[in-house]
Amino acid sequence: MAVMTYREALNLALREELTRDPNVFVIGEEVGLYEGAYKVTQGLLKEFGPKRIVDTPIAESGFTGVGIGAAMVGLRPVVEMMTFNFALLALDQIVNSAAKLHYMSGGQYNVPLVIRGPGGPAHQLAAQHSQSMEVYFYHVPGLKVVRPSTPMDAKGLLKAAIRDDNPVIFIESETLYNVKGEVPEDPDFVIPLGQAVVRREGTDVTVVAYMGMMYRAMEAAEELAKDGISVEIVDPRSLQPLDTATIIGSVRKTHRAVVVEAGAGFAGMGSEIATEITEEAFDDLDAPVLRVTGAQAPMPYARNLERAKTPTKEKIADAIRRVCYANGSR
Amino acid sequence: MAKAMTQKAAPGLGLDADLARKLLRDMLLIRRFEEKAAEAYALGKIGGFLHLSIGEEAVAAGATSVLRPDDYAISTYREHGHCLIKGSDPRRVMAELFGRVDGLSKGKGGSMHLFDKEHNFLGGHAIVGAHLPIAAGVGFAIKYRGGDQVVLCYFGDGAVPEGEFHEALNLAALWKLPVIWLCENNRYAMGTSLERALAQTEIWKFGETYGIPSEPVDGMDVLAVRAAVGRAVERARRDKTPALLEVRTYRFRGHSMRDPAGAVYRTKEEVEREKLRDPILLFRDRVLKPGVLSEDDVKKIEKDVNDLVDEAVAFADASPEPPASELFTDIFKESA
Ligand SMILES: Cc1ncc(C[n+]2csc(CCOP(=O)(O)OP(=O)(O)O)c2C)c(N)n1
Ligand SMILES: [Mg+2]
């Protein structure tokens, strides 16, 4: 184990996979000479050269399509979106081509492609640069969607994504790049997609949360422990495939659940997880599942409004208290 | 480089009997195949959208004739001909149109999504413009691996106003990728004529914008297509230069079977006039007159093609529907 930042963990994963497999290459805006808008690809151009680390003009649909075409004939591209907000320009390529080619060709052509970059709330980046983008992708059959919360997950899951034979949407976060944590240095360390992890064990309530929300939920749990509320936190890590077994298992133990998500709540990940819990474990629930979600509004710039838009530790703690004091007859 | 005049077939091309037979056979195969498909559509055996390339057969036949089997082709939803001539078994193509389990994609793609990995046919893509960046990616992979194959990318005039046409041409030119951009300009995108869609209707001129060799080509002359694509392929193989060919052709039928006559946006007279330049009739005359092929040769080719297509229909008819379990297979590739 080594202690490193989330950014360094991603960089290490890329370096290891580029070294392991000559078919892996990185392509995107500013990934080479500029070393990445968020420096995730720092040093890669020097180490692997311009054939493997490919700078593109600003043409998201174009270079995403290049990734898909290259993947169809056997390469393993890692496409960087400078931020995931810009993936909307490539949404047709991702949804209509990457996700569907294996199915439409009856299994003849597959698309081993990773599209990665930061997404979600950041620091005062305003409406166009801090959206929770996973919602646009996990609805689509044929796409896998990953949201890694820790440096260890960033490394292990990115390596799994690169080795996967299918298109994987891998959304990081500006707010996590500097987070430090322990990371295995073993180049064969991989975290399989579709496995949730219990971040904190508890007995009274299950909280499902990922990325920045997971950290806020952890803080809320610390605080509630002082009041004698024991919170279990499940981090799904992959949203598609979603490890419902781990989530349901936890709820069967605690009998109460709160689902947290940063994005606007309407038809969001929280709705999906709350529904899964209700359908699978209704009889185990002592109270209705609660959601804590971002406000149904674009992301404002002003600091106070930005804070009001995104779930805070206080809002999460409040929901946990409410679900704990409530009972099924509510 | 670019020429303002439509290219005539190069005189020294060498039209021997074998080549004449092959080109005529390929064009006839597409025509008979699609005529039968239209019949099957009328009988309800084929559903959804069915787009015929009748009138445009010289493009697929001429262009594919200069490709190697390890070269790639990628196309739109009007791709039956491109796929058949690339080498696909007509029986499996017809079965795909019928939505049957013996189709190329087990019936899961249909007429608009033909794929044949064995013959390097990379699909049938039905989002206008979307497969152009994908073609650039295949060219990228060829170059990455140091190969000398090329990618032949067919698209319609309707893709030219799309952003992806420009993104893909720019990237392929910028990175010197071995892609032949072959625009099948049939003058209409559904009911929208070229003049109503493009500020620059000389599509080949966009090649000049991106600094790549480009030329207009008579798409009703199979030898002209063969010559122009041949030049582009040779260049792409040798020094990875992409090319843009504006192949001028015409569809005799409607946009799809749901637009049977195609009569509201163009005149009957126009269609009749274009039919005088039927690429199959033109080529047949051309090979019969100097005696490259005899009447008997032509009859034999026609009979062989008819038999092949009849067999394809019988095969498709006899093939079962895909089992219900196929709904959930091929969504993801299971890693080994
Ligand atoms: C992005 C997109 N927009 C619209 C359509 C609907 N559509 C299908 S075919 C077509 C016309 C395309 O014409 P062209 O590219 O000239 O090809 P042709 O049909 O003439 O072979 C249109 C508008 C589509 N499939 N994709
Ligand atoms: Mg057209």
Q: Tell me whether strands A290-294 and B214-218 are parallel, antiparallel or unpaired.
A: unpaired
CA–CA gap between residue B37 and residue B328 (Å, rounded):
28
Quote the ligand 2 centre to A139 CA distance (angstroms): 33
More confident residue, B7 or B184: B184
Name the residue with higher pLDDT: A48 or A122. Answer: A48
**Residues contacting B228, CB < 8 A, separation 6+:** B7, B215, B217, B245, B247
Average pLDDT, chain B: 95
Query: pLDDT tens digit string along B90-130?
Result: 999 999 999 999 999 999 999 999 999 999 999 999 999 99
- CB of B60 within 8 A of CB of B53? yes
| Mean pLDDT of all residues in A188-206 | 98
* Distance of CA B308 from the midpoint of ligand 2 (Å): 29
Beta strands at A24-28 and A76-80: parallel, antiparallel or unpaired: parallel
Question: Is the distance from CB of A79 to CB of A50 less than 8 angstroms?
Answer: no
Distances (CA, A) of B317 to A24, A104, A247, A301, B97: 44, 21, 48, 62, 11
Fold of A2-183: Rossmann fold (3.40.50)
Distance, CA B126 to ligand 2 centroid (Å)?
13
Task: Residue B327: list chain A partners with CB under 8 A.
Answer: none
> Is the CB of residue B156 less than 8 Å from the CB of residue B186?
yes
Q: Phi first, then psi: what are they for A110, rounded to 5°? A: -115, 165
Asked whether the predicted pLDDT for residue B2 surpasses 50, the reply is no
Q: Look up residue A66 and give its amino acid.
A: V
Q: B201-228, pLDDT tens digit by residue?
A: 999 999 999 999 999 999 999 999 999 9
Q: Which pLDDT score is estimated for B117?
A: 98
List pLDDT tens digits, range B142-177. Answer: 999 999 999 999 999 999 999 999 999 999 999 999
pLDDT digits (tens, 9 = 90+) for B15-32: 899 999 999 999 999 999
Between B138 and B260, whose confidence is greater?
A: B138
pLDDT at B1: 38
Nearest CA in chain A to B70: A73
Say whether the ipTM exceeds 0.85.
yes
Residue A284 has pLDDT above 60, yes or no: yes
In chain B, the N- to C-terminal Cα span, in Å, equals 48
B277 touches chain A (CB under 8 A): no
Say how far residue B22 (Cα) sits from the centre of its chain. 16
Amino acid at A155: K
**Do A166 and B104 make contact, defined as CB atoms within 8 angstroms?**
no
Ligand 2 centroid to B185 CA: how many Å? Answer: 5
Ligand 2 centroid – CA B227 distance (Å): 22
Check pLDDT > 50 for residue B4. no
Q: 3-state DSSP call for residue B192?
A: strand
Instruction: Please report the atom of ligand 1 found closest to the CA of residue B158.
Output: 15
Q: Do A66 and B137 make contact, defined as CB atoms within 8 angstroms?
A: yes
Task: From the candidates A17, A129, A272, A276, give the one annotated as an active-site residue.
Answer: A129
Element of type H or E holding A107: none
When CB atoms are compared, the residue of A62, A71, A77 closest to B167 is A62
Contact with chain A for residue B109, Cβ under 8 A: yes
Give the number of whichever ligand sits closest to the CA of residue B80. Answer: 1
Interface test with B, best of A108, A111, A164, A169 (most B CBs within 10 A): A108
Give the mean pLDDT of chain A: 97
Contact status, residue B68 vs residue B149, Cβ threshold 8 Å: yes
> Using the beta-carbon criterion (under 8 Å), do A142 and B127 form an inter-chain contact?
no
Please state, in angstroms and rounded to a whole number, the distance separating the CA atoms of residues B286 and B38: 28
Estimate the share of chain A in helix, then strand, then coil, as percent rounded to the nearest 5.
Answer: 40, 20, 40
Residue A63 and residue B106: Cβ atoms within 8 Å? Answer: no
Q: Is A60 a catalytic residue?
A: yes
Q: Are B27 and B58 in contact (CB under 8 A)?
A: yes
Which ligand is closest in space to the CA of residue B161? 1
Residues of B in contact with A68 (CB under 8 A): 133-134, 137
Domain ranges of chain A: 2-183, 197-328
Task: Tell me the mean pLDDT in the region A86-107.
Answer: 98
In this complex, how many residue pairs, one in chain A and one in chain B, have their CB atoms less than 8 Å apart? 146
Task: Please name the fold of domain A197-328.
Answer: Rossmann fold (3.40.50)
pLDDT at A120 over 90: yes
- Residue in chain B lying closest to A106 (CA): B105
List CB contacts (< 8 A) between A72 and chain B: 122, 134, 137-138
Beta strand pairing call for A114-118 and A168-172: parallel
Chain A residues near residue B132 by CB distance under 8 angstroms: 65
Residue of A16, A29, A35, A60 with catalytic role: A60
CA of B128 to the centre of ligand 1 (A): 5
Nearest by CB: A102 against B103, B137, B333: B333
Which residue intervals of A53-168 are DSSP H helices? 60-72, 91-92, 101-104, 135-138, 151-163
Residue of A nearest to B126 (CA): A96
Q: Is the pLDDT of residue B336 over 80?
A: no
* Contact residues of A toward B, CB < 8 A: 25, 51, 56-57, 59, 61-75, 77, 92-93, 96-97, 101-110, 141-142, 144, 163-166
Distance CA A111, CA B204 (A): 32
- Sheet arrangement for strand A53-55: A53-55, A24-28, A76-80, A114-118, A168-172, A144-146, A238-240
Q: How far apart are CA A164 and CA B294, in angstroms?
A: 57
Mean predicted confidence (pLDDT) in B49-69 = 98
Q: Which among B128, B167, B196 is the best mutation to test ligand 1's pocket, defined by most ligand atoms within 8 Å of the CB?
A: B128
Q: Is pLDDT above 70 for B3?
A: no
pLDDT tens digits, residue range B295-316? 999 999 999 999 999 999 999 9
User: So what's the pLDDT on residue B15?
Assistant: 87
Collapse the DSSP code of B238 into the 3-class scheme (helix H, G, I; strand E, B; otherwise coil) and give the result: helix
pLDDT for residue B9: 44
Which residue type, as a one-letter code, is found at position B81? Answer: G
User: CB neighbours of B185 closer than 8 A, spacing ≥ 6?
Assistant: B156, B157, B194, B203, B219, B246, B247, B248, B249
Domains of chain B: 48-278+312-319 (3.40.50.970)
- Closest residue in B to A60 (Cα–Cα): B167
Interatomic CA distance for residues A45 and B82, integer angstroms: 40
Q: Ligand 1: which residues within 6 Å by Cβ? A: B 78, 126-128, 156-159, 186, 188-190, 255
What pLDDT does A288 receive?
Answer: 96
Concerning whether A129 is annotated as a catalytic residue, the answer is yes
